[in-house]
C-alpha cells in the first residue's frame, strides 16, 4: 500500500467542511477589512527564501524542501508566504499603485520538520500583508484582523503578546551588546548558534535547544535597547490597541523565527489544553521589499497556522455539525419514476437546491436507509401515482412531518423550509 508522505495529511470529505467553515469566515473578515486575495506559485527560486527569510534562520538552514529541477535550477517549495508575496509585489509593480497594498493569502506551506500534533511538513497558512504604509495604525489593524478571526469563531483562552525588535540602527548597537554577553558562553552554545554568533547574534534568542535557552534567558533585553523612533512607534501601537479594546501583553522575549522583521513583532498563543502554543505570528518587515529588489517600502503582516487553529476549535468543542448535506433525497419506485427522478433532481439542482437520488437501483427501504445516512433534511418517494398527480409527499426527516407539495413548488418549498439557508 502506498501511504501519504510523512508529515502530510489528507483532508477527507468528512472534515473538509471544517476547512470551508474557517476559510469562509476568514474571507468574510478580509473583505470587511479591505484585504484582497493574492495567490503565488507553490515553489520559488531558492534564492528568494535565502534572501527573504534569512540564511541564519531555522527555516532556511534546516526546514526547506529544496531540489534541482530538470533544468538544473534550484527551487524550493514555499516554507512561508511573505517572501513570495513581496517578490510578486515587486515583480508586478504593485508598489506603483495607490498605497497601501492590503493582501491576504490562504495556502499550503512546506517545512521539513519532525511531525507531531500541530507540526506538519505540509501545513496551511492564512496570512495578510500590508505594504506601503509605515504607521503603527497599520500594525494595529493587522493585529486586530488576526484577533477578529478568533473572536468570530468564539475562541477563548488566547493571548496576544507584542514586542518591538527595533530597526537595523538600534539593533546593530544591541548586537554588539549581545555578542559581549555571549562571548564567555560560546563553548556552551549549540553548533548552529556559534555560527549565528558571528553572523546574526539576535537569532540565538530564537534557538529551541535547551542549553542555549538556559543561557540566553539572562541576555540583555532588546526592548530596553531600542531607539527613540522605534519606542515611539511601539507606544503608538499600544494606544491603537487600547482604543480598539484589544487586550495585549508585552513579551520582550519574542524575536520571531524569520530575519526580516523590524519594530513590531507579535504572537497569538493558545492556552487551551490540547492546543497550547503559537497559532499566529507576525510583525513589521521594513527592509524586506528593498532586499528583494523593490523600492524602499515598508510592510507588516502575520501568518496563522490553520491546522493549529482547528486544533484550538476542537479542544474548545467549537466545531459545529456538518451542514454540508442534501436538502432533499428523492427515492424512486419503478422504471418510469427512475427517469422522472433523474429529471426532477437535475431541475432542483438547477434551482439551487442540493438534491440527491439513488444510483444503485436499491429497494425503497434501502434507498430510505441511505437517505438517512446522507443527513438529508427532506425526503420523498416518487412512484407512478405521484407522477400522475404531479405532486409528492415530502417528509421532514427530523420531525417526521409530511406535506403534499406539487412538483412545480418543490424548489420553493425546500428553500423556505430548510434550516441552513
Which residues of this protein are in contact with ligand ATP, per CB under 6 A?
80, 111, 113, 118-120, 123, 125, 257, 278-281, 303, 305, 307-308
The string of DSSP letters for 322-342 reads ---S-SEEEEE-SHHHHHHHH
Provide the CB-side half-sphere exposure for 37 (13 A, CA).
Answer: 12
Beta carbons within 8 Å of 417's beta carbon, 6+ residues apart: 378, 396
Contact by Cβ (8 Å): 256, 206: yes
Answer yes or no: is 148 a known binding residue: no
- In the bound state with ligand ATP, the residue whose beta carbon lies nearer, of 278 and 342, is 278
Nearer to ligand ATP, 267 or 386 (CB): 267
Minimum distance between the CB of residue 4 and ligand ATP, rounded to whole angstroms?
15
Alpha-carbon distance of 34 to 181, in angstroms, equals 45
Measured from the CB of residue 279, what is the shortest distance to ligand ATP in angstroms?
5
Q: Is 82 flagged in the annotation as binding?
A: yes
Burial 4-22 (b: 16+ CB within 10 A, else e): eeebeeeeeeeeebbeebb
Question: What residue is closest to ligand ATP based on CB?
Answer: 305
DSSP H helical ranges for 244-354: 288-291, 306-315, 335-350
Instruction: Determine how β-strand 65-68 pairs with β-strand 378-382.
Output: unpaired
Is 80 part of any known ligand binding site?
A: yes
CB of 268 to ligand ATP, least distance (A): 8
Q: Does 261 count as an annotated binding residue?
A: yes
- Which CB, 122 or 338, lies closer to ligand ATP? 122
Considering the complex, what minimum distance in angstroms separates the CB of residue 271 from ligand ATP?
Answer: 15
Residue (59 or 331) nearer to ligand ATP, CB: 59
Return d(Cα 283, Cα 298) in angstroms, integer: 11
**DSSP class of residue 81?**
S
Residue 263 or 395 having the CB closest to ligand ATP? 263
Q: Three-class SS of residue 238?
A: helix
Whether 81 has a binding-site annotation, put simply, is yes
Q: Is 256 annotated as a binding residue?
A: yes
Beta bridge partners of 106: 126
Least distance CB 356 / ligand ATP (angstroms): 35
CB 284 within 8 A of CB 263: yes
Min. distance of Cβ 65 from ligand ATP in angstroms?
12
Residue (123 or 234) nearer to ligand ATP, CB: 123
- H helix or E strand, kind and range, residue 192: helix 191-199
Question: Given the complex with ligand ATP, which of 35 and 260 has the nearer CB atom?
Answer: 260
Q: Strands, DSSP E only, in 242-312?
A: 249-250, 262-270, 277-284, 299-305
- Which of 192/393 has CB closer to ligand ATP? 192
To ligand ATP, the closest distance from the beta carbon of 93 in angstroms equals 28
> In whole angstroms, how close is the CB of 124 to ligand ATP at the nearest point?
8
Contact 158, 269 (CB under 8 A): yes
List, as residue ranges, the binding site for L-histidine. Answer: 80-82, 111, 125, 129, 256, 260-261
List, as residue ranges, the binding site. Answer: 80-82, 111, 125, 129, 256, 260-261
Amino acid at each position: 500500500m502506498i501511504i501519504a508522505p510523512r508529515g502530510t495529511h489528507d483532508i477527507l470529505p468528512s472534515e473538509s467542511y471544517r476547512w470551508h467553515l474557517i476559510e469562509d469566515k476568514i474571507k468574510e473578515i478580509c473583505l470587511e477589512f479591505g484585504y484582497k486575495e493574492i495567490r503565488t506559485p507553490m515553489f520559488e527560486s531558492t534564492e528568494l527564501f535565502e534572501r527573504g527569510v534569512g540564511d541564519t534562520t531555522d527555516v532556511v538552514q534546516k526546514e526547506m524542501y529544496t531540489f534541482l529541477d530538470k533544468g538544473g535550477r534550484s527551487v524550493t517549495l514555499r516554507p512561508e508566504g511573505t517572501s513570495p508575496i513581496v517578490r510578486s509585489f515587486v515583480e508586478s509593480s504593485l508598489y506603483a499603485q495607490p498605497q497601501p497594498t492590503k493582501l491576504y493569502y490562504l495556502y499550503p506551506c512546506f517545512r521539513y520538520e519532525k511531525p507531531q500534533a500541530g507540526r506538519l511538513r505540509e501545513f496551511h497558512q492564512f496570512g495578510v500583508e500590508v505594504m506601503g504604509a509605515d504607521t503603527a495604525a497599520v500594525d494595529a489593524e493587522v493585529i486586530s484582523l488576526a484577533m477578529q478571526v478568533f473572536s468570530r469563531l468564539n475562541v477563548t483562552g488566547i493571548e496576544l503578546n507584542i514586542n518591538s525588535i527595533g530597526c537595523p540602527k538600534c539593533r546593530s548597537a544591541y548586537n554588539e551588546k549581545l555578542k559581549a554577553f555571549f562571548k564567555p558562553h560560546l563553548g556552551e552554545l549549540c553548533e548552529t548558534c556559534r555560527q549565528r554568533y558571528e553572523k546574526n547574534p539576535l537569532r540565538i534568542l530564537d534557538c529551541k535547544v535547551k542549553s542555549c535557552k538556559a543561557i540566553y534567558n539572562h541576555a540583555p533585553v532588546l526592548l530596553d535597547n531600542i531607539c527613540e523612533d522605534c519606542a515611539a512607534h511601539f507606544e503608538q501601537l499600544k494606544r491603537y490597541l487600547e482604543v480598539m479594546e484589544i487586550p495585549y501583553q508585552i513579551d520582550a522575549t519574542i524575536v520571531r523565527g524569520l530575519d526580516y522583521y523590524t519594530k513590531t513583532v507579535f504572537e497569538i498563543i493558545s492556552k487551551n489544553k490540547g492546543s497550547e502554543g503559537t497559532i499566529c505570528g507576525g510583525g513589521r518587515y521594513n527592509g524586506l521589499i528593498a532586499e528583494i529588489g523593490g523600492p524602499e517600502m515598508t510592510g507588516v503582516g502575520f501568518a496563522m497556522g490553520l491546522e493549529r487553529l482547528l486544533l484550538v476549535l476542537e479542544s474548545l468543542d467549537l466545531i459545529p455539525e456538518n451542514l454540508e448535506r442534501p436538502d432533499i433525497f428523492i427515492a424512486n419506485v419503478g422504471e418510469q419514476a427512475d427517469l422522472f427522478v433523474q429529471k426532477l433532481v437535475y431541475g432542483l439542482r438547477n434551482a439551487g437546491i442540493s438534491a440527491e437520488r439513488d444510483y444503485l437501483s436499491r429497494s425503497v427501504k434501502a434507498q430510505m436507509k441511505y437517505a438517512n445516512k446522507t443527513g438529508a433534511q427532506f425526503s420523498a418517494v416518487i412512484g407512478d401515482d405521484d407522477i400522475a398527480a404531479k405532486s409528492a409527499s415530502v417528509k421532514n426527516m427530523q420531525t417526521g412531518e409530511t406535506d403534499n407539495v406539487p412538483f412545480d413548488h418543490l424548489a420553493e418549498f425546500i428553500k423556505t423550509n430548510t434550516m441552513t439557508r
